[in-house]
Structure 1
Amino acid sequence: KSPLPTRDAAIDLGVSGPIAGFLVAIPVTAIGLKLSIVVPPSMVPQTEGGVYFGTNLLFELLTRAVLGIPEDYVIFLHPIAMAGWVGLLVTFLNLIPVAQLDGGHVLRAFISERAHRIVTYVTAFVLIGMSYLWSGWFIWGLLVLLIGSAGNPGALDEVSPISKKRITLAILAAIIFILTATPRPIWTT
């Protein structure tokens, strides 16, 4: 609850949780994929009411590395794979660079409070616009508007330079954000 003393501390705060969650989600996802059932499309019953999980770059890479199957096959995810997928999704959502989310703390270390507020509001409206892909983005956009109104005051010391180690951690967080980005997380038929 106390203010962050330095921009390095803001980056540490912002990257620690997502990196830890990411490192746990990778093996959980890989184990779950190994336990999943893979079938050719011809063996999938043509029924209505299925639940489909969206994908991201990392999930695709893990699927190819662990299962090594042709693209047209259908994967019935094991519950452990679903848990890993959820872990990757939560990591992505937490790294959205807005307001008080972890990604917001990292971005705020690099830009002014005013610029951060603009990024937060623009992102909120982009998320609302993305609700045509997944209706949940509408809710996320509203939440970002709500928590964004409180702002992100940043560190007490915004003059001292950011260390190279923290810049590297911020780049790593951005790479994780890109790898876990899931534009359409879940849908049903």
Structure 2
Amino acid sequence: MLNIQEVINKYFKSVLVNEDENFIEFIVEPKGDVAIEDAFERLYTELVGRYNHAIILFRDNSNYVLRVSRRTQGTQSRRRRMIIAALFIATIASVAYAGYLTTQYFNLAVLSIGLGSLKLNIFVSTILFTLAVMAPIMVHELSHYYVARKSMVPVTPPMLIPAPIVSPLGTFGAIIGMKHLPKSLKDLVRVGLAGPLAGTILSYMIFTAMYMISPVVSYSAVSEAISKGLMQELHVLTLGAVLIMKVADVLGYGGSEASTVILNPPAIAALFIILIHFINLLPLGQLDGGHIFRGLTSMRTHKLAGFITLAIALVTAMVVPNLLWLGIFALLAFLITGLRAHPGAANLESKLPKKNKVIYSLIYAILLLITAPIIV
């Protein structure tokens, strides 16, 4: 049986002050000239990373108190692995079906206005649609997973959520369970940023490629399709998408004064994924944006930002009908993950170095800016 105090004593001088059936508490002091943050990180790596015991460090007056859970975090069961695999397969099937339906609708629209030459190959378009959805989602989640594991944060593998029929993409994305708080605010921000950064970059790469191969047709043909209810104008884009479209137009891949681009199904899917990244970046509760913002600020500021963000999203949804979805998703995110305070890191006294705060804040701001919806 593991002697917890023996492990603690490798890095701290410790005195047992309290224990019950769930927790053990020690007053601790780092050995020698080692900083408290460094000693805690080393202990975290061993107790959490190796032995799966949850730990928290906090200050009580002039003393540092270390609280250790007696129970260990469970390991991945075979049944859970099978569920994850089954959901992965179901999600691919669900997304592919959504791609098939979207392609069929696209082909019907172009045929109805006499543009049969623009008809897409069902198989190829479905595959590209599936990749446009699944690749950014998986890269997003695996980036979280990789950075978390590298930081010794115990997390579950990504669990995909199939959503046939109810979602235009065939999925509600994926979730990763964080079994314990990261050891420091720096790790919290790094884990939070990793997914949106990787997912947004890949989504824009896919959108760019798919936009450049989307058909260019005359405004009169598009107007006819819209009047028949077979096509809809896109009233919501993102700043990044607008910039890409402007550059593509200059390079001769876009529309002109007499023509416009009809986004093919994979391009539409990539655009939707980018907008989903924006929602996920909002500083709300346990969303990625919530983790990032909590790491950059305080518990109180994070909670206040959540209320302000929700209020802005709801007002925007009421004023701008095309952004109704933003208010709905913000409200759901707040109700599900935003009602409880975000504790931050396992080291409750952790501080984010100023240099890191500036860099991470800049990355976060850029991600919000390029994924934010704009009305066109």
Is the pair's TM-score, using the shorter chain for normalization, greater than 0.5? yes
Q: Is it true that 1:14 corresponds to 2:197 in the alignment?
A: no
1:166 deviates by: 5.7
After superposition, where does 1:104-123 map in structure 2 within 5 Å? 104-123=290-309
2:313–2:327 CA contact under 8 A, matched in 1: yes
1:39–1:75 CA contact under 8 A, matched in 2: yes
- For 2:246 and 2:286, the matched residues in 1 are separated by 35
Aligned to 1:67: 249
2:217–2:261 CA contact under 8 A, matched in 1: yes
1:51 deviates by: 3.0
Structure 1 counterpart of 2:280, which letter? N
Q: Is it true that 1:181 corresponds to 2:372 in the alignment?
A: yes
Specify whether residues 72 and 105 from structure 1 end up closer, same or farther in structure 2 by C-alpha distance, changes over 3 A only: farther
Specify whether residues 75 and 112 from structure 1 end up closer, same or farther in structure 2 by C-alpha distance, changes over 3 A only: same
- For 1:182 and 1:64, the matched residues in 2 are separated by 16
Q: Give the counterpart of 2:333 among 133, 144, 159.
A: 144
Q: Give the counterpart of 1:156 among 346, 351, 357.
A: 346
For structure 2, the residue ranges without an aligned partner over 5 or more in a row are 1-178
Q: Which range moved further: 126-135 or 101-110?
A: 126-135
What is the TM-score when the length of structure 2 is the normalising length? 0.46
Pairwise CA RMSD of aligned residues? 2.2
Deviations 1:85-126 (A, max 9, x none): 122112211111221111111111122111211110111121
Mark the structure with the bigger radius of gyration.
Answer: 2
Q: Percent identity?
A: 26
Specify whether residues 60 and 74 from structure 1 end up closer, same or farther in structure 2 by C-alpha distance, changes over 3 A only: same
Higher RCO (C-alpha 8 Å, min separation 6) = 1
Specify whether residues 109 and 119 from structure 1 end up closer, same or farther in structure 2 by C-alpha distance, changes over 3 A only: same
Deviations 1:159-180 (A, max 9, x none): 4333634642331121011011
- For 2:258 and 2:372, the matched residues in 1 are separated by 22
Q: Greater strand share, 1 or 2?
A: 2
After superposition, where does 1:31-180 map in structure 2 within 5 Å? 31-44=209-222, 45=224, 46-49=226-229, 50-53=231-234, 54-68=236-250, 69-70=255-256, 73-132=259-318, 133=320, 134-146=323-335, 147-157=337-347, 158-162=349-353, 164-165=355-356, 167-180=358-371
1:184 deviates by: 5.4
Q: Which range moved further: 147-156 or 99-108?
A: 147-156
Secondary structure in 1 matching 2:284: coil
